Amino acid sequence: MTPQPLFFRAGLVLLSLLPLAGAGSAAAQSPAPDSLQGLRVALDVGHSLQNQGAGSARGVGEFHFNQATARVVRDILTSAGAHVVMINENGDLPDLLRRTDLALEKQCDVFLSIHHDSCHQKYKQKWLVDGAPQEYADQFSGFGVFCSQKHPQAQLSRQYATILGHAMLAAGFHPALHHHEAIEGENRPFIDEAAGVYEYSDLIVVKRTAMPAALLECGVIVNRDEELRVKTREYQEQLAKAVAQAFAECLSQGVLQPGSGARLSPTPRGGPVAPVSPPEDKKGLLRRLFERPQKP
Ligand SMILES: [Zn+2]
């Protein structure tokens, strides 16, 4: 664990004033109409039509959950005065580096990638949905936030991700902590365990972005109940308000600054990059989603 900087403790006090509620029940405050004025947000819809990411307990591709939630997040952020650039809204931009480049071209001040979560294969059980075999794991639920220590502004990304995790808590959501388990494919270090914030340094969209970047897992869709919950308008709006509150908090603390995206230099390219080309099979998806750490 790393000690939290002083300025963040002040932010906690502010966030703790927000009403608490169970995830999905209306509680988070709507953002003030001008609270995000001037902020340019790159909102990335995770995965694509061709590679839809995780499968839900009922066999629906993650991309569809990401798209629906991101659109609600866009609307709430826009109502608070932000300028939102949707990236991969229709699922036709599988190239992750192209997404980060686009965020830079559009002079965005912050990058948020919207995803929905799964779990390790070993926990999944089988059931039939409309006669078709599907997999579920009901023991995992909640949100997660990921950022990269290899980001060019790693400290800002870390502060932004931590504020986002705490805003989710304040809105009544609970963190999913299973990515910390010491097994192959997980084993993610915590940045802030209580707020569900993890380090995932080689995740491309949070590493190769020029502006502060985080990835939000909005809920666990391999959980049969949570799959139904995350699809509700109430859940999506609650989450969107939490995101708006987090951005407002970042602005008040100087973690994010309107106009900063216009001053950024081209996306840093340090370190090795995994191939970004097809084939569009499972291995190809993994290659494109995760960069392998550089071997010494
Ligand atoms: Zn995903």
Domains of the chain, CATH where assigned: 28-289 (3.40.630.40)
285-293: average pLDDT: 49
Ligand 1 centroid distance, CA of 201 (Å): 15
Give me the amino acid identity at 45: V
Percent of the chain with pLDDT over 90: 78
* Averaged pLDDT score across all residues of the chain: 86
Say how many Å lie between the CA of residue 87 and the centre of ligand 1. 15
Is the pLDDT assigned to residue 9 strictly greater than 50?
Answer: no
**Residue 267: per-residue pLDDT:** 53
Interval 2-18 mean pLDDT: 36
Q: Which pLDDT band, with edges at 50, 70 and 90, does 269 fall under?
A: low
If you measure from the C-alpha of residue 54 to the centroid of ligand 1, how many angstroms do you get, rounded to a whole number?
A: 6
92: Cα within 13 Å, side-chain hemisphere:
1
Distance in Å, CA 55 to ligand 1 centroid = 10
Residues for the chain: how many in total? Answer: 296
Q: pLDDT for 248-258, tens place per residue? A: 999 999 999 99
- 132-136/125-129 β-pairing: antiparallel
Q: How far is the CA of 65 from the centre of ligand 1 (A)?
A: 10
Q: How far is the CA of 182 from the centre of ligand 1 (A)?
A: 20
> Is the pLDDT score of 1 beyond 70?
no
User: 44 is written with which tokens?
Assistant: 């990335």
Give the confidence band of 28 by pLDDT, cuts at 50, 70, 90.
Answer: confident
217 CA → ligand 1 middle, Å:
7
Task: State in Å: Cα 267 to ligand 1 middle.
Answer: 22
Residue with token string 């709006």 = 237
State the pLDDT at residue 115: 98
Mean pLDDT of 145-173: 97
In this predicted structure, what is the pLDDT of residue 27?
72
Cα 211 to ligand 1 centre (Å): 20
Mean pLDDT value of segment 246-275: 80
Rounded Cα gap, residues 155 and 89, in angstroms: 28
287 Cα–ligand 1 center, Å: 14
Q: Is 90 exceeded by the pLDDT of residue 113?
A: yes
Q: How far is the CA of 33 from the centre of ligand 1 (A)?
A: 31
Say how far apart CA 113 and CA 134 lie, in whole Å. Answer: 26
Residue whose entry in the numeric block shows the structure tokens 């995790």 = 165
Dist. CA 276–CA 273, nearest whole Å: 8
Structure-model confidence comparison of residues 5 and 291, the more confident one = 291
Q: How far is the CA of 80 from the centre of ligand 1 (A)?
A: 27
CA of 296 to the centre of ligand 1 (A): 29
